[in-house]
Structure formats: C-alpha cells, structure tokens
A and B are shown apart, each in its own frame.
Chain A
Amino acid sequence: MICVLEGFYQTNIIYRTIHGSLSGLMPCWSATIVTGIMFSLFLVNIFLVSTALMTWGERRLLGRFQTRVGPNRWGPFGLLQPIADLISLLFKENLIPRGSDKILFIVVPILIMMPVIMVLGVIPLAPGVALADLNVGVLYILAITSVSSLGIFIAGWSSNNRFAIFGAVRGVAVLISYEVPVVISLLGIVIISGSMSLLDIVEAQAIPFLMVQPMGLLVFFIGSSAEMNRTPFDIAEAESEIIAGFHTEFSGIKFAIIQAAEYGAMIVTSAIIAIVFLGGWSGPLPEYLGWFWILIKVLVCVFVFTWVRATLPRLRIDQIMAFCWKGLLPMSLINLLAVVIETFILKGPNGQLSVADLWIMCVINTIITVCTVIVLNKLISNKVDPLRSGSKILSQRELLLDGQGD
C-alpha cells in the first residue's frame, strides 16, 4: 500500500522521529495513526503537567503577594499539592443540578478545555519542534480561542442557575468585545513579519517585537487577560458578586477540568506572547537551548499575569465595555495605522524590512505609544483628590461649632 501521508509532516522533527521508528514495525497507515495518537497524548500530558505546576506556582506566588505562605505541606515546597487537589476533586460526588441540560452540562468542561489544548499544539518550542507548524498559525490561534466563549455560555445556560446565567452573559459580552482589539493588535505583527506562521514570526524578530510593537503588546496583554477572565476583568466569575459565575454548579472533576483550562489558557497566552512579542527561542545561549529561553519568557509572562491578578480590583461590566471600545480599540487601530504607514514607506524592493527599518519603527512606535497612553489616560481618567472634592478633616472645635448649626 502506498503511504499517502508520507511527506505530509516531514519537516516536523518529532513526527519524523516517531514515524520513522514505527514504520519499520508496521504498515505506513497504522504508523501514521499511532503517531497521531501519541501526538495527542503528548499534548494532553504537556497540558496537564504544566497546568498542575501552574496551579502550584500561582498559589505560591499569590501567597507571597498577600504576605502569607501558600501551599507548602506536601512534597518539597508543596510541589505535590496539585496531586492532592486532584485526588480530592476526583473523589467528589458527580453532582448534576436538577433542571439542568444534562448532556450539555457533562460536555461543557471538555468544550472549555479543548481549545486550550488545540492551541498548545501549534506552539513551537524551537525551530521545527512544534506538533504542527501551520502556515496560518496566528489565524488558527485566534479562531480556536474564540470557541471558549461558546463553552462559557453553554456552561452558564446548562446549569439552571441564575448566577451562572449572569456569569455566562457577562463572559460572552467581554469575550466578544475584547476579541476585536486582540485580533487587530496581532495584525501589526503579521504585517511586519509578512507571515502568519509562528515560525516565520520568530525568525522575523531581528529585534524582539516587544520593542517594535509596544502598543501591540499592551493591547494584546490587556485584551487576553480579559479573554482569560482574570482580574481586573474577571466579571464572568466574580466570586464576590456571583459566587463563581458560569461554573457555580460545577463540582468535582468537572470543576477541576474547568480550572485546568483556565490555568492552561494562561500558559498558552504567555507562550503566544513569548513567541510573538518576546522573540521566541532566540537568546544569547546556543540554539539547542531554545526551549530554555522560551520557558524563561513564558514564566516571566505568567509572573506578570499573577502580579496583576494579585494587585488590582475588578471593574464593573459597563466600565469594562467602555474601556474596550473607547480605550483598547482606538489604541489597536492607531497601532495598526502606524504599522501600515511605516511598512509602506520603509519596505525594500522585495517587500522585506531590514534591521535598520525595524529600529526606526521601534523609535517611532514607542513615541506613538507613550503619547497615546498619556492622551487616553487624560481622556478616561477619573482621579480626584477627596480633600479637593468637598471632604474635609475637622478638628473637635470646628466640629462642635459647625455641628450646632445643623
């Protein structure tokens, strides 16, 4: 039998290795299937292990931010805590609320987790070391991540709980709104690098796009933290207002899966930022240590996300919407406009941008970013000194004198 898929993935190192060693043992078609299954296992396990470590890391970090210790009981530095949590959640009763849509209620945790794993599949850790190197990587990521809004809405709808409905409606509103600036902020990168493939984007970064596209990074960072439901945009699961939002009714392993999906989304987003804005695997160390650089960059992003989460209070729904449409969207549009004009003027005869061009763009875009942020801050800001707005601190004498008049 002719091996139809021979060469389909030949550029991929992992695929080549596994498929090559298997094809001696079995027919080509079954080797392809086995390789595919192994790929999926890779992905799911990478996802599970990294999110498990992530839960531990975030809880330790939050503990430090909040002047407490965090989980430190089981294993060195409490590293086995995720296992304890998982066992605890696995043995919980499988509760399905009365009046809920049973099938959807059971399917929904998977629906929420699926896009995260699917995005993880296209993230390259080193040149050629990605489970799939798509030539439309950026488009694929944007398309797949928006599926999660569907998951959130179905979760809220199927659990027959009014708090969950609140969370679902809020979540969908936020996700749909913030999708727009996030997409536009990545367009700038695509224009500069001239490709949608993540591999090409990394190779186009003679200097990290963090410097060429500071506003793009800002918009992407804020927008993606809104898409991940993290403070200050976590209204879909605002614990002080609507219990746990869309996942109020989920318990046991369903809850664990939803939580894992949320932590996984943070890792995936950090990885995207590391690749698209921070130069991916490039660094002073030799190329075979690329995974080390990407790990460091992902961890830095995760740290910043946790830092923001530990610091800021939550915004109200109308303020979040206003911030998206009045703040982030103009910023991303200004950024796009600047990039388009700069690329149009600077690009060489073959459509490429040289390193010098990138440096020029870096300077111009930094200035534009600073100006835009200052102007928008002036327009949106609502800071008032309480002592200037009529509040006062009276001495006892003043209080007694004035008090008689009241």
Chain B
Amino acid sequence: MSIRTEPMTINIGPQHPSTHGVFRLRVTFDGEDIIEAEPILGYLHRGTEKLAEERNYVQIVTLTDRLDYTASMTNNQAYCLAVEKLLEVEAPLRAKYLRTMTAELQRIASHLIAVGFFLQELGTFGGTPLMYAFRARERILDMFEMLCGARITLSYMRPGGVFWDPPSEFWSSLDEFLKEFPSDLAEMEDLLLNNEILMVRTREVSPLSAEEAINNSVSGPVLRASGVKMDLRVMDPYDAYSMVDFDVPIGSIGDNYDRFWVRMQEVRQSLRIIEQCVDQIEPGDYRLDLPKVLRAPEGTESYGKVEAPKGELGFYLFSDGGISPYRMKIRSPSLINLSVIDRLLVGWKLADMIVSLGSIDINMGEVDR
C-alpha cells in the first residue's frame, strides 16, 4: 500500500524570524525536502538610485549608508572611489589609510553579524554565539561613534578623503581592541569551527561549484568559498591595500561550512590589515580641499568598486555636467549572490534552507535598494 502525498507550498517571509529582513521565498516542499524555491524581492525598495539623481555628490554619501546598513563604511568607500575617479582626484595618503582601516573594522563587524546569525539559524537557542559576536561588534561601533558620531549609518567618508581626523581616544581604544579581540576571536573559533553539530549540519550541504559561481557572477566570501581565487583587494588594489600584507582564505567545495570558514578566517586577516595600517599611518591631510558642490565634466563616467564584506560592491556614475549624477547604478553583491539561491536550495531540507540563506549573508537593504 502506498500513501498518497502531495507537495506543500509555503511562503517563507516576508515576516519570518530568519529571512534577514523583508525577504520572501516561495518554497514547495515534498515532506521536508525542497523541490522548488522562488525568491520574491522588492519589499524594501526605496529607489536609492533614483533619489541619487536629485542630490548632489556629497549628499549621496548618506544614501549609500542605507544600502547595506551592516557595512555602511564600505558603501561610503565604494561611492567615494567612484566620485574620485569621476573627478580625477586622489585622496591623500592618510585618508587612504584611514579608509582602509575603517573599512576593515567594518568588515569585522559585518562578518561577526554574518557568523552570529548563521549560528542563530543553525538553532543555537537565543543566539549565544550571536551575543558573543555582538559583544565584539559593539566595541567596533563604539569606535565608529568616536569617529563620526554615528554607529550604523556612518557617512564617515567623503569624496576626496574622510570626514574628520580620528580623535585621540579612537587610537587608544583601537589599540585596546587589537590587543583584546584576538583572544575573543580565538574563543569563538574554538567553540564554533570544531563544533561537531555545526560540521554535521553544514559540511557538504548546498555546495556551489566554482563554475556556477563564476557564471552567476557571485562575489566575495561566497565566491572564495567555492575555491575561486578572487579578491579585489589583491587583484585591483584601491586605497592602502597595496601597501599592506595579508592572506586570502580560499574554500574548497563552496558548501555552507566553507562559506562560514572563509568569513571566520577573513576576520583574522582584517585584524592583520588594521595592525599594519596603525603602524604605517603618518600625520597629514585627511581630506582634499574640494568645493562644497562638486561638478563633473559633461559625459564623464566612472565605476568605483570595493571588496565589501558581502562581495564586490560597485557604483557606476554618469555625469551630465550638473551638480548631481545623471545616473547612478549600484552593483550590490547581496542581490547578485542571492541569484544562486534556488540552485542552492533545491534538493535540501527545510532546515538547510534557512542555513544556506544565512551562509550567503544577504542584506535586504542592499538587495532591494
């Protein structure tokens, strides 16, 4: 005797505890197995690209904060690099170091969130690892507060440099952070990287082959976890990255564990970069003396890109000679990384679905823009 079964369709989101914001996924299940998954986007669309056409070049910096709100420093950086290319200017050396340092601090903060929520989605009750991650992230946010008065939406960088030179207490708390954080990180690695349940749940689950990753133009930790040797900080260095020495972790088969592992290792490398920046930085100008209202020549265009925590973040600007760009296009890593989600999910179970989504580390502010 066989029992008649039928597939069941469930809406995961937009209100769901672990979809990283208002993300909706229409999934068809056969029992616990996923046979079809369709992402539905657009619940957080705010028209950032259109808004940018109405604001001048400096004002747009505040819009970029709201893209990936867990990593607004790198958003600022990508946008400012694009504007600097458009104006054909270059930030002073001290500003470059400051940008590199703050961007790496932001990378640590963002990866800590990614790892924390990844563990939360694996089901650690109430998020014990999440709280450990937030404890460290809190210190980074405190430092950002010293830099620019804001914790999340920073707007610290400007076209041509940074907003302000760091106050003296920033340097002392940064030293303290660099001294104490490695042991916190070691504690987290100790608890997580060799956790048996974590390995069982994530190893060889939802693998993404290198070929598929490249074909879908996936970037960032997701791409590196698939074994592709690509890091914009090395391949196409910007700001001070050509002057510091760091390693790049590369995964093997691109399963959930590899994506998690790559992020954990990148946090360590970010620490190395920050330490070198602190050693190398010298007094000097922190910002170019640019006019308050910037104008780019008519018909010029530029593309600024950085290795954001979530992948390659790019800003394409086209100028018609006015005070605001004629068109701004954002290449957001979260959206493009998300495009492989249905391939990652089909054939796996409901519990793996949430974990795979967490391992891609999307941010809806950036996906829907």
Please indicate the chain A residues that have their CB under 8 angstroms from the CB of B234 in the complex: 396, 399-400, 403
Indicate which residue in B135, B198, B252 contacts A391 across the interface (CB closer than 8 Å): B252
The answer to whether A242 and B350 touch across the interface, beta carbons within 8 angstroms, is: yes
Instruction: List which A231-264 residues lie within 8 A (CB) of chain B.
Output: 231-232, 234-235, 238-243
Query: Do the beta carbons of A386 and B349 come within 8 Å of each other?
Result: no
Find the A residue at minimum CB distance from B262. A391
List B contacts of A95 (CB < 8 A): none
Contact residues on B (Cβ < 8 Å of other chain), bracket? 35 or more
As a 0/1 sequence over residues 306 to 321 of chain A, the CB contacts with chain B under 8 angstroms (1 = contact) are 0001111111111100
Contacts of B16 in A (CB 8 A): 243
B235 contacts the other chain (Cβ, under 8 Å)?
Answer: yes
The residue from A65, A239, A313, A392 contacting B201, defined by CB atoms under 8 A apart: A313
Interfacial chain A residues near B350, Cβ < 8 Å: 166, 241-242
Q: Which residues of B contact A162 (CB under 8 A)?
A: 8, 10
Known interface pairs A162-B8, A240-B354, A393-B265; A312-B250 also in contact (CB < 8 Å): no
In the bound assembly, the distance between CA atoms of A231 and B193 in angstroms comes to 19
A319 in complex: contacting residue of B8, B121, B200, B354, CB < 8 Å: B200
Q: Which residues of B contact A163 (CB under 8 A)?
A: 10
Q: Give chain B interface residues in 15-59, CB to chain A under 8 Å.
A: 16-18, 32
Contact A234–B123 (Cβ < 8 Å)? yes
Which residue on A lies nearest to B214, using beta carbons? A406
**Which B residue's beta carbon lies closest to that of A377?**
B196
Interface residue? A389 (CB, 8 A): yes
Interface centre among A234, A241, A395, by most B CB within 10 Å?
A241
By a CB distance below 8 angstroms, the chain A residues around B203 are 382, 384
A165, A317, A391, A403: the one contacting B349 at CB < 8 Å is A317
Question: Knowing A386-B257, A406-B228 touch, does A310 contact B126 (C-beta < 8 A)?
Answer: yes
Please state if B128 and A392 are interface contacts (CB–CB under 8 Å): no
Whether A92 is near chain B, meaning CB under 8 Å from some CB there, is no
Closest to A385 in B: B194
Query: Which A residue sits closest to B118, measured CB to CB?
Result: A313
Shortest Cβ distance from A68 into chain B, in angstroms? 6
**A163 nearest CB neighbor, chain B only:** B10
B18/A240 in contact, CB under 8 A? yes
CB distance from B204 to the nearest CB of A (A): 9
Whether a CB of chain A sits under 8 angstroms from the CB of B347 is no
Q: Chain A interface: which of B85-93, B240-248, B291-299?
A: B240-248
Residue contact B198 to A243, C-beta cutoff 8 Å = no
CA distance A165 to B20 in the complex (A): 24
- Given A382-B199, A386-B258, also A317-B351 (CB < 8 A): yes
Chain A residue numbers with a CB within 8 Å of B354 are 240-241
Complex Cα–Cα for A234 and B234 (A): 44
Complex CA–CA separation, A231 to B265 (angstroms):
28
A393 touches B197 (CB 8 A): no
> Which residues of the partner chain B approach A242 to less than 8 Å between Cβ atoms?
350
B253: A residues at CB distance < 8 A: 390
Interface pair B127/A393, CB less than 8 Å apart: no
Give the chain A neighbours of B196 by CB distance below 8 A: 381-383
Is B122 an interface residue, CB under 8 A from the partner? yes
Inter-chain residue pair count (beta carbon < 8 A): 149
Q: Is the CB of B252 within 8 A of A313?
A: no
Whether B351 lies near A399 (C-beta < 8 A) is no
Q: Is the CB of A396 within 8 A of B246?
A: yes
Give bound CA distance, A400 to B232, whole Å: 11
Chain B CB within 10 A, most for which of A318, A319, A389: A389
Nearest residue in A to B235 (C-beta to C-beta)?
A403
Range of interface residues on A (Cβ < 8 Å): 35 or more
Bound Cα distance A353, B145 (Å):
70
Least CB distance from B28 to A in Å reads: 11
Task: With both chains docked as a complex, state the minimum distance between the C-beta of A290 and any C-beta of chain B, in angstroms.
Answer: 33
B29 nearest CB across to chain A (Å): 8
Contact B248 A399 (CB under 8 A): yes
Cα–Cα distance between A314 and B195 once the two chains are bound (Å): 12
Contact A316 B349 (CB under 8 A): yes
B247 near A386 with CB under 8 A, answer: no
Cβ A386 vs Cβ B261 within 8 A: yes
Interface presence of A350 (CB below 8 A): no
Q: For the complex, is A67 an interface residue (Cβ under 8 Å from B)?
A: yes
Kindly state the separation between the CA atoms of A406 and B229 in the bound complex, as whole angstroms. Answer: 8
- Cβ proximity bits B179-212 to A, threshold 8 Å, 1 near / 0 not: 0000000000000011111111101000000000
Cβ of B189 to closest chain A Cβ, rounded Å? 11
Q: Cβ of A311 and Cβ of B248 under 8 Å apart? A: no
Closest residue of B by beta carbon distance from A165:
B8
B14 proximity list for chain A (CB < 8 A) = none
Least Cβ–Cβ distance between A92 and chain B, in angstroms = 19
* Assembly CA distance A313 to B196 (angstroms): 10
Smallest CB separation, B265 vs chain A (Å):
6
Q: Which residues of chain A in 189-235 are interfacial with respect to chain B, using CB atoms and an 8 Å cutoff?
A: 231-232, 234-235
B278 at the interface (CB under 8 A from A): no
User: Is B231 in the interface zone, CB < 8 Å from A?
Assistant: yes
Complex-state Cα separation, A231 to B198, whole angstroms? 13
B337-366 contacts to A, CB under 8 A, are: 349-354
How would residues 105 to 136 of chain B score, 1 for a CB under 8 Å from any chain A CB and 0 otherwise?
00000000000000111111111100110010
Name B199's contact: one of A68, A232, A235, A383 (CB within 8 Å). Answer: A383
Considering only CB atoms, which chain B residue lies closest to A306 in the complex? B125
Contact pick for B248, options A240, A313, A394, CB 8 Å: A394
Asked if residues B195 and A399 are in contact (CB atoms below 8 Å), the reply is no
Is A319 a contact of B201 with CB atoms below 8 Å? yes
Residue from B119, B123, B131, B354 having most chain A Cβ neighbours under 10 A: B123
Q: Is B249 an interface residue (CB 8 A)?
A: yes
Q: CB-CB < 8 A to A386: which residues of B?
A: 193, 251-252, 257-258, 261
Contacts of B148 in A (CB 8 A): none
Cross-chain contact A310 with B258 (CB below 8 angstroms): no
Q: Are B126 and A392 in contact (CB under 8 A)?
A: no
Q: Does B174 contact A (CB under 8 A)?
A: no
In the complex, whether A17 has a CB less than 8 A from a CB of chain B is: no
Q: Report Cα–Cα, A318/B349, bound state, in Å.
A: 9
Q: Answer yes or no: B230 CB below 8 A from chain A CBs.
A: yes
11 examples of A-B residue contacts, CB within 8 angstroms: A165-B8, A240-B18, A241-B121, A310-B125, A314-B123, A315-B197, A381-B196, A386-B261, A395-B248, A396-B234, A399-B250
> Other than the known A66-B126, A316-B201, A393-B265, what 10 A-B pairs have Cβ atoms closer than 8 Å?
A67-B135, A232-B197, A241-B121, A310-B124, A310-B126, A311-B128, A312-B124, A382-B200, A391-B251, A399-B235
In the A-B complex, the 8 residue pairs with the smallest Cβ-Cβ separation, listed nearest first, are A314-B123, A390-B252, A313-B122, A66-B131, A240-B18, A403-B229, A316-B351, A240-B121
Which residues of B does A touch, CB under 8 Å?
A: 8, 10, 16-18, 32, 119-128, 131-132, 135, 193-201, 203, 227-231, 234-235, 245-253, 257-258, 261-262, 265, 349-354
